[in-house]
Amino acid sequence: MTMDYTTFGRTGLQVSRLVLGTGNFGTGWGYGADVDTSRTIFDAYAEAGGNFIDTADVYQFGQSEEIVGNLLQGRREDFVLATKFANGAVPAPNRLVTGNSRKAMVASVEASLKRLKTDRIDLFWVHHPDTATPSEEIVRGLDDLARAGKILYAGLSNFPAWRLAHAAALAELRGAIPIAAAQFEHSLVHRAPEADLFPACHGLGIAPVTWSPLGGGVLSGKYRRGDTGRREGFGGRVFQPENSEVRTTTLDTVLEIAQELGTEPDRVAIAWAMGHGAVPIIGPRTLAQAQSNLGATDITLSAEQLGRLHTASVILDDR
């Protein structure tokens, strides 16, 4: 496996082309990886040259951050550590520690720092908009955390393009910490961000970080083999079903190209996602999944293969 690195937006960070997402680290949600399995996944990623870890307070109700914090001991400076806030770290959190308010932000970052056993968070994400907190409050809150040394970079996750642009403009006008990155779902079965979020990131110099490059596992082909995975785990959330002619054709094409290349379909789908200027997040639950996902760094798709994937997966309105 050959891990490449890229400059992260308009920052000076040099990050690996794949991010290790740790939503599966822990068993607090009733579906995930135990501590030992999480360690083998983390070590495999590190050995492959990966240096970008993504977690969140809500993942496995805090267990993910705790596991990541333990795994980083003795090698903290080898990684860019990102976490998120907005949902709380317990099943029924107090309303004052959820959402995007400055109070929730401060309470969340302090709790995350303790679980992660670190003195600062390299990239702090607002996990998703709460429909109530104005961008002005979010920008000011993130800037306060940066000035206090709690966070180094700030990002918005799952925000629409217009709110991303608005927050970025506010931060620039006020001399606040810039919005360095945007995180959103993108895959061969979810290409909508190519219409707005990708152009916004490109125009504003914001680093795109994309989640679920396998559509919740559907592009690995495992559900056709009878596996359940995220189709049932996580209550069926963060999963894109094979429920249309376009998606069936897309998966057929991924499987065909994988066979042509003598590789696994998940690697084809992840390699395609890497080709959009984004840093995709992989979220393996087993060591075998991690090793297969990481193999995407060795895949080169030809122009003809890319054309076939585009034709198969393009949304109907664009045909």
- Mean pLDDT (10-residue bins), the chain, 319 residues: 92 98 97 97 98 98 98 98 97 94 98 98 98 97 98 98 98 98 97 97 98 95 75 64 90 97 98 96 97 97 97 68
> How far is the CA of 39 from the CAs of 27, 42, 60, 78, 300, in angstroms?
14, 5, 16, 16, 29
E-strand ranges in 158-269 read 179-185, 207-211
Set out the domains of the chain in order of their start, with CATH numbers: 5-215+278-301 (3.20.20.100)
Active site positions, annotated: 59
d(CA 101, CA 266): 38
Closest CA to 57 of 39, 84, 19, 28: 84
Euclidean distance between the first and final Cα of the chain, in Å?
Answer: 36
Neighbours of 182 (CB within 10 A): 29
- Are 217 and 239 in contact by the 8 Å Cβ rule? The answer is yes
Phi, psi angles (nearest 5°) of residue 19:
-100, 140
Q: Which residues of 255-274 are buried (b: 16+ CB within 10 A; e: fewer)?
A: bbbbeebebbbbbbbbbbbb
| pLDDT at position 224 | 83
d(CA 25, CA 59): 8
